[in-house]
């Protein structure tokens, strides 16, 4: 089964243009025979890296302005905001996994989440996961997710689950996916480098599954100079804001493709999905190597809504 991992930037903080680019990338992947295409963390409409580059006190006014722009360009599922990609998935018989910024249009109409959608080859969204714990200054941008999206789902290409960025350092969250017979483990991220790659290698060995990691390859030159406070955020016009490091690891460890460092394009691999289950003959973390008489894990998968006061 052919896999394509996107290492192209979006049109930064422009949802309509980024969505159109995503649809084009799906068509490109399909033309080259891919059955699964994976996009990085918050690819729609771009990771809010400003939260790491502005101080929470002195720069609050700048942060508020950039948050408003992010909010105006986030995806609202209650208004069929993912429809162009759902149509592209069905048209190309392609499974799509995409990280995006979600606006909660049903409850508050303003809270944002760092989310990851799995769209099956018939165009249906079969899982939507909101990042459980935004990392450090990300909490100035996103609300907290819940356990309702901690699911491994059956798709046209196998059983897929996803955790976002540093959620992959949470052992219980990883185990919640391992225990659902995962074949392909997706780790959309903003992280990169040797430490992150070592984490993904460990997950492939621990979970006995294919692991796909991808961050947005982004240069300062990819970001429009019209972005508010551009000169403060990106003073070095030659900076690689993120090198990407898209990678695919084999079940039980070993690189299949990548890492793709400071390059743009698509990372390709042909994988045998069934190799995940056969690799667990040696070590099955939630099966024959587990000790359910000693350990147990309970996951609350109820959807949590913000508390309201009447």
pLDDT in tens, 66-106: 999 999 999 999 999 999 999 999 999 999 999 999 999 88
Place of tokens 């422009």: 14
Neighbours of 52 (CB within 10 A): 13
User: Is-catalytic flag, 131?
Assistant: yes
Is 41 annotated as catalytic? yes
Q: Residue 299 domain-assigned?
A: no
Domain with 185 in it: 2-279
d(CA 191, CA 198): 12
For the chain, the average pLDDT equals 95
Percent of the chain's residues with pLDDT above 90: 92
Please identify which of the residues 51, 102, 116, 131 carries the catalytic annotation.
131
Q: Rounded to whole angstroms, how far apart are CA atoms 230 and 71?
A: 18
**How much is the average pLDDT of 220-235?**
95
Q: Is the pLDDT of residue 131 over 90?
A: yes
Calpha distance 84→101 (Å, rounded):
16
Taking the C-alpha atoms of residue 142 and residue 198, their distance in angstroms, rounded to an integer, is: 27
Q: What is the pTM of this model?
A: 0.96
- The pLDDT, as a whole number, for residue 306 is 62
In a domain, 189, yes or no: yes
Quote the pLDDT of residue 307.
Answer: 54
Catalytic residue among 165, 209, 250, 256: 165
Mind listing the pLDDT tens digit for each residue in 12-37?
A: 999 999 999 999 999 999 999 999 99
Q: Give the three-state DSSP class for 15.
A: helix
Assess if residue 306 is contained within a domain: no
Residue 286, in any domain of the structure: no
Q: Which residues does 172 contact at the CB level (< 8 Å), separation at least 6?
A: 297
The CATH code of the domain that includes 24 is: 3.60.110.10
Q: Tell me the pLDDT band of 142, cut-offs 50, 70 and 90.
A: very high
CB 101 within 8 A of CB 44: yes
pLDDT exceeds 60 at position 230: yes
Query: How much of the chain, in percent, has pLDDT values that exceed 70?
Result: 98
Instruction: Please name which of 171, 167, 169 lies closest in space to residue 145, comparing C-alpha atoms.
Output: 167
Q: Tell me if 307 is assigned to some domain.
A: no
Q: pLDDT-based confidence at 309, cuts 50/70/90?
A: very low
Residue 48 contacts residue 218 (beta carbons within 8 Å): no
- In this structure, of 45-59, 173-187, 269-283, the range with the lowest mean pLDDT score is 45-59
Catalytic site residue from 41, 138, 206, 256: 41
295: in domain = no
pLDDT at site 310: 45
Q: Any catalytic annotation for residue 62?
A: no
Q: In the structure encoding, which two tokens stand for residue 65, read together?
A: 């302005």
Q: Confirm whether 131 is domain-assigned.
A: yes
Q: How many domains does the chain have?
A: 1
pLDDT in tens, 241-277: 999 999 999 999 899 999 999 999 999 999 999 999 9
Task: Tell me whether residue 70 is in a domain.
Answer: yes
Instruction: Name the phi and psi angles at 41, rounded to 5.
Output: -60, 135
**Beta bridge mates, 155:** 158
Overall size of the chain counted in residues = 310
């Amino acid at each position: 089964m052919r896999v394509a991992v996107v290492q192209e930037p979006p049109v930064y903080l422009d949802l309509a243009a980024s969505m159109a680019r995503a649809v084009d990338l799906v068509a490109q992947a399909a033309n080259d025979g891919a059955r699964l295409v994976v996009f990085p963390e918050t690819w729609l409409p771009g990771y809010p890296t400003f939260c790491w580059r502005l101080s929470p006190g002195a720069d609050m006014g700048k942060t508020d302005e950039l948050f408003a722009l992010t909010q105006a360009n986030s995806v609202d599922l209650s208004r069929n905001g993912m429809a162009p990609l759902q149509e592209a998935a069905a048209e190309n018989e392609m499974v799509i996994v995409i990280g995006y910024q979600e606006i909660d249009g049903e409850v508050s109409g303003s809270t944002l989440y760092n989310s990851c959608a799995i769209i099956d080859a018939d165009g249906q969204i079969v899982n939507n996961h909101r990042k459980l714990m935004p990392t450090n200054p990300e909490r100035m941008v996103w609300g907290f997710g819940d356990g309702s999206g901690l699911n491994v789902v059956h798709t046209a290409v196998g059983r897929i689950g996803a955790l976002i960025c540093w959620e992959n350092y949470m052992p219980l969250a990883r185990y919640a996916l391992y225990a659902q017979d995962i074949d392909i483990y997706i780790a959309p991220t903003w992280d990169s480098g040797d430490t992150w790659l070592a984490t993904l290698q460990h997950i492939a060995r621990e979970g006995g599954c294919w692991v796909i990691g991808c961050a947005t390859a982004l240069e300062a030159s990819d970001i429009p100079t019209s972005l508010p406070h551009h000169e403060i955020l990106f003073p070095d016009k030659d900076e690689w804001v993120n090198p990407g490091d898209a990678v695919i690891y084999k079940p039980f460890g070993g690189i299949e493709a990548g890492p793709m460092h400071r390059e743009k394009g698509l990372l390709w691999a042909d994988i045998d999905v069934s190799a995940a289950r056969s690799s667990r003959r040696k070590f099955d973390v939630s099966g024959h190597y587990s000790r359910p008489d000693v350990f147990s894990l309970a996951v609350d998968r109820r959807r949590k809504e913000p508390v309201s006061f009447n």
